A and B are shown apart, each in its own frame.
Chain A
C-alpha cells in the first residue's frame, strides 16, 4: 500500500488543481490516470480529503467505471469492440484470435508489460467493423491478419521490451 513521495506529489497537485471544479471527481480521476497510468489505492485518501468525500465514495466511483484502473497497465492499451455491429462482421473470431495471439485474456497484460487487452462496447465506427482501439487511435475493418500487423507495428515502434 506504500506510495512514494514522487507519486504522492502529483496526486496532491492534481487534487489542488481540480477541487474547486463542480463535480470534480471524474475529471480528477482522468487526470490522475493520465499522469500515472492508473489510480493507485493510496490516492484514495488524498482525493477523499481534498474533495471532502468519504474514502468509500471515492472507491465507489473508481470501481463503478470501466475506464479507471487500480493497477499499472501495459504501455499500450488494445481494445477490441464487442458490440453488435462488430459481431456482425466477425469480432467474436477476432477476440479469440487476439487473446490467443497475445496470450492474455481481457483485463490482463502481456508478460513483457507491453500490451493490456480490454473489451470495449462501441467505438462509433460501426459502418466499417470490426473496430479496434490502440491507445487513442481507432482502426477499421480489422481481421486477424490486420490485428497481427498492428501489434507488430506497436512492438517495433517501442523497440520491444523496455
Chain B
C-alpha cells in the first residue's frame, strides 16, 4: 500500500504535517502529494490498495490508528472513508485539464510529471516554429485568466512580431516571459494550487511561451504571502534545470530558456501587469500608463509576454493535445475550462474546474452545499475585491465572461466568496473603499483620493448625515473613479460598492448604535 498526504498550503494549514508524522510513527513513509483541491476534505489521506486508490478525509493525526486498522479489515467501515478518490462526486463531475495531475503524486517529482504526459507539449513545441506555436494558441481560443480575459494568442503575436522589425538591421533584441503569480484577490487560490500541486506544468508553459515569441528569460513574480509555493517552485525549477528542460540547449534543441522566481513584497497592486513590471525592475509598484503595451515595451523596456499562471499552465495541454481539443470546451467566446474557486462561508469549498457556462447557483448549491454556518446565503462576491456582490436574483447567470459583463459583474480570476445573512453590506462596501485606500499605488487621483473620500461618504450615509445628498455624491464619486482611474484598482472598486448599494440598500439605512458600530470595524 502507498500512502499519500498533501503538502499544499491548505492541507498544511489543517494539520497534514501532523498526519504525516503519525504515519511515520507507525512505520509508513507517505508520499507528500499536492492537493486535489477538495479543501473541505483536507487533510485527505489517499491509499493505493488492491481495491484501487481510496481516500479518507478529513483526517487528523489521532485518526491514523483507526484508519490503519480499517485498512487491515474493511476500509469502507471507517467513518471518514470517502471511497475511490476519482469517484468522489465533487471531483468526478469536474472537467479537469489544468488540474488533471493535481494531487496525483509528488508535485516536484519530475518522473511523476513525465509519466502523466508532462513535457509532451514542450516536445511538440520544439518541433515547431515560433509562429506555429502562436497559431496553436490563437486557434485554441485561450483568453488570459488573470481577470481581463484578453486573447492570449494575440498578445503573443505582438511580442513575436516585436522582434521582426528590429531583426532586419540588428541582432534580435531581448524579450521576456513574465508569469503573474501575484494572486492577491480574496477567494482565489487557483494559481497557488497549480504552483503547489503541479509546478512543472507552469514551467513547461513558460518554456513554450519563450520558444513561441523568441524569449530566453522568464520570471515568475510570486506574492510573498505564498511561502509554500515559493519553496516548491524553486525545487521544481532546480529539477527542470538538472534534467535540461531549462537552461542552455534544452533537450539538444539549441534553444535556451532561463527561469527565476522573484518575490513580491505585499502589494496587491503588483498584480496589475505594469505595476508588476515596475516591481520586477526593482522600483515602486506604480502603474504605467498604456500605451506602450508591455508586449511592445515591457520589462526593462523590452517586448514582454505577461500572462497569469493559469494561462501559461493551459499552454502545456494545448500544445500536448492540440488547439482543437481545448477549443471544444466552453461556450460562446469563452473557450476551455474555468478554474472556479469556491470560498468564504461555504460548506464544501475548493477548486472546481469546469467548462465555461455552469451557473453560479449550481456552483454554490450543488458543489458548495450552502454555507458553512448553515444560514441562508445572502450575497456572493465573484472576481475578488474589485468584483460585484451578486444578489440571489442573478445566481442563474452562467459563468462566462460576456454573460457576467452583461450584469455589470465580472468573473475575473474565478474566485467566489459566499456570505451568509449576517453580512452587513454597508460594511462590505466600506471595506472595498478601505482596501483601495491601503493598496492604491497613488499614481492617479481618482483612486488615491477617491477611495479615502469613499470611506468618509459611506460613513456619513450610514450615520444618516445629509443622507440623500451623500448618496448622490457616492454615485458621482464612483463614476469619477470608474472613468478616471488609470487601472482596474480605482476603476473597479466602484463595482462592489455600487452593487451593494443597488441590491442591498436596506443595509445603508439608519440603524441603531450597535449596527453602526459593526459597520465601522
Contacts and interface: CB of A to CB of B under 8 A. Distances in A.
Given A23-B280, A65-B285, A140-B10, A128 B226 contact: no
Interface of A: 22-27, 29-30, 51, 57, 60-61, 64-68, 83-89, 92, 120-129, 131, 133, 136-141
B13 A125 contact: yes
Contacts of A65: 264-267, 285
A126 B263 contact: no
B42 interface: yes
A27 B263 contact: yes
Contact of A127 (B10, B227, B419): B10
B285 A122 contact: no
B267 A128 contact: no
A124 B226 contact: yes
B282 interface: yes
B521 interface: yes
Contacts of A120: 225, 266
B150 interface: no
A140 B16 CA distance: 12
A88 B425 CA distance: 11
Contacts of B14: 128, 140-141
Contacts of A61: 282-284
Given A83-B385, A125-B9, A67 B282 contact: no
B245 to A, nearest CB: 23
A24 B283 CA distance: 10
Question: Which 4 residue pairs of A and B lie closest in terms of their CB atoms, listed nearest first?
Answer: A127-B349, A25-B282, A83-B186, A126-B343
Interface residues of B, number: 60
B461 interface: no
A76 B54 CA distance: 39
A10 B266 CA distance: 24
Contacts of B262: 23, 26-27
Contacts of A88: 344-345, 417-420, 423
A123 B184 CA distance: 8
B185 interface: yes
Contact of A122 (B225, B342, B431): B225
A84 B344 contact: yes
Contact of A126 (B226, B285, B415, B420): B415
Contacts of B184: 121-122
A133 to B, nearest CB: 7
Contact of A121 (B341, B342, B420, B435): B435
A17 to B, nearest CB: 15
Interface of B: 9-10, 12-14, 39-40, 42, 183-189, 192, 224-228, 262-268, 279-285, 300, 341-346, 349-350, 372, 381, 385, 415, 417-420, 423, 428, 431, 435, 438-439, 441, 521
Contact of B10 (A24, A83, A125, A136): A125
Contacts of B264: 26, 65, 67
A124 B279 contact: no
B225 A133 contact: yes
A140 B8 CA distance: 12
Contacts of B418: 88
Contact of B282 (A23, A66, A133): A23
Nearest to A136: B227
Nearest to A79: B225
A23 B13 contact: no
B436 to A, nearest CB: 12
Nearest to A89: B345
Contact of B263 (A30, A137, A141): A30
Contact of A131 (B13, B341, B419, B420): B13
Nearest to A57: B283
A89 B381 contact: no
A137 B12 contact: yes
Contacts of B228: 138
Nearest to B183: A124
Nearest to A51: B282
B415 A128 contact: no
